[in-house]
Structure 1
Amino acid sequence: MFHKDTIRIGTRKSALALAQSKLVGDAIVNSFPHMKIEYVPMNTLGDKRLDVSLQEIGGKGLFTRELEEALINGDIDLAVHSAKDLPLEFDNRLKLMPVLKRAAVNDILVVNKDLNTDIRNLPIGFRIGTSSKRRYEQLRILNKNIEILPIRGNVITRIGKIFSGEVDGVILARAGIDRLIADNKYAGEYSDILEKISIFDIKEKDILPAPAQGILCAEYANDDMVEILEKIQDKECEYLFIAERRYLSVLQADCHTSAGIYISDNSKKYSIKAYFDGKYMEMDSIENTLENLLITVEKLADKLKRENV
C-alpha cells in the first residue's frame, strides 16, 4: 500500500510532457482526493541534443534515462511518457503501466492557416518536416513529389519551423497537439502560434501510427504504485499497449527500423493493418481477446520480417 500523501511525478520540461503529466496527476487526484501531486521537470539528453538525429546519439532511450535514474534513486515516484517514445528494453528494476484512455492514434499535417490541402495533393517540392523514418517512408508512398526534411524538437519548436521558413508543413501525432490545446495554460501561452496553423487529419490507414501512439504510460520502481495506477487504467488501452509492443518486439524493431500498426475494433472483432520497412499486411475478424490479438500481431510481425529478409 502506498503510504505517502504526495506523489512526485517526473517529466520532461516541454509543454506537451508537462501537459501529459498533469493529465495523469489530475486522474490520480480524482480517484484519491487526499493525494497531492508534485511535478518534477527534468532535462533529458534527447531534449538537449537537437542538432543530430536520434539514431546518431542512441535512440529513444535518450528521452527517458534521467527520469529512470531518478526513479531508481527514489527522487520521484512516477515518470509519465508517451508510450510510442519508449524503447523496448529498459532497466529491469523499473516497470511500465499504460494509464487513462487512449487518445487519437492518427498523425496530422500542420501547415499555415487557410492552406487547403491534403497529403496526396501537395504540390511538387512542398517541404514537410519529420525525423520519423516511419512517416518518411509512408509519405513517399502517398506522394513522391514532396520534399521531406529532418527536424527535431518539441511540438511548438517544430511548428515554429513553418513560420521561420525552414519547412512548409510538419507531421505530428494528433494526440500530442490535442493534449496541448486542451491544457488552458499552454493553449493560452502558445495561442499566437496555434491560431496561425491549420491541422489536417491523416487517416490511420494512410500513414499507420507508431505502435502505442496516443497512449500514456507510467513508469515506476516501487510496487506500491500499482494500486494507484490500476485505478486510472483503461483495460482496452492496456490490451492495445501490450499487443502493439509485442509487434515491435517480434520485429526486433529499434530507432533504425520503420514500423507502424493500426488496430481497430469493429463489432467486437479486431482488424489490424501493419507496416514494416516498405510493406503492408492486413488481418480482419480477430476475436476480441488479448490472447487472439497477441497471436495475430505475432503472425503479422513474423511474416513482415520474413518478407524483408
Structure 2
Amino acid sequence: MTVRITNGDVMDGKIALEEHFNLPEFADSLPQYVEPRTMREIEHRLLDLGAMRLEEMDAAGIELSVLSLTAPGVQAETDPRRAVTLAKKTNDTLAEVVREHPDRYAGLAALPLQDPPAAADELERCATELGFRGALVNGFTNLGDAATGWYYDHERFLPFWERAEALGLPVYLHPRDPLPGNQGSYEGHPELLGAVWSFTVETATHALRLMTSGLFDRFPGLTVILGHLGETLPFTMWRIEHRVSFMGDLRKFRRPLSDYLLTNFYVTTSGDFRTQALVATLSELGADRVLFSSDYPYESMREAADWFDHSAISENDRVKIGRTNALRLFRLKK
C-alpha cells in the first residue's frame, strides 16, 4: 500500500503495534483498573478480532495491527507447565486470526518465561512456523505463587535472550503492576496503580535493570520496545546517566546508558498522545526509533490517529513513525 496523506489531514496505511486482545482463559486475571461500565466495554473489545476492530482500524487509517495478548497474560501463571500450554494455545489461536486477515493483522508471541528455554523454543516456533514478528512480555513473570516474580535481567533468562538475538526478533516489554510486596508507596492510593502511574515506574525500572545488568553488552543485537513514549526514559536519561557515573565499581555495564537506549530500544506512542512529549522524544531518540501505536482497546484508535495525523511534526517523520519504521523493524512486506 502506498502511504497517502490526504489534504494534510489523514495518514492512511499506519501500522499500530501495541494493540491488545484477550482469550476467555485469561478473563479472570484481568485487572479492573477503571470503573465497571468502561471495563466491561474494554473486556468486550479485547475478545473481538473481527468486524468491530477492523472497522475501528479503517476509521483511524490503520492498515495493520500487530496483536499481542493483554496483561498480565501468561506472565501471571505460576505453574511452568501450564504456562507453556497456555502460551502455545494463545499463539496458535492468534496465528489462526492472522491467517484469516493476513493484510490486517500480524502477531507478537506470548511466552512462558517461567521456563526460559521453553520460552526460547516457543519464540522460535512462533517465528518459523507461525510467522510472528517478535514477542510481547508483560512485565515480570510469576513463579510458584503470585507474590514471587522474576525480572528479565536475571541470568536464568540468558537462554531466552540469546535466542531472541539469534532470531533477530524484537521483544516488547509491556507494563504490569509491581509485585504485591512492592506496592507500599501506593497504599491508600489505588488510583495511582495501573496506567495512571505504577505501570510507568515499574517498566522504566525494569528497562534500566536490563541496561545496567550488562545484558546488551552480552547480546548487543537485542532489540527491546517500550510503549508510552519510552516510559519517561527519554526525558530522564541524562540525569540517570549523570548520577550513575559516580557509582564506581557498582557499575556492571560497559557503555553509557544512553547508548543502550539509542541502539537497543524503540519506543511507541501508545497511550501518550501529547505532541510536546512526542517532539521531546524525537529530539532525544530521533525519528527512526519511534513507532505509532494506540494501546487499543484501553485507548481509542481514533483519538490516537487523530492526534498523530495532526501533530506538529514533519511529514517525513510522520511517515517513518506511522509506517516505515515498523516495516523495517518487523521485516514486513507491504
User: TM-score if structure 1 supplies the norm length?
Assistant: 0.30
Higher strand proportion:
1
Higher relative contact order (CA 8 A, sep 6+): 1
Higher helix proportion:
2
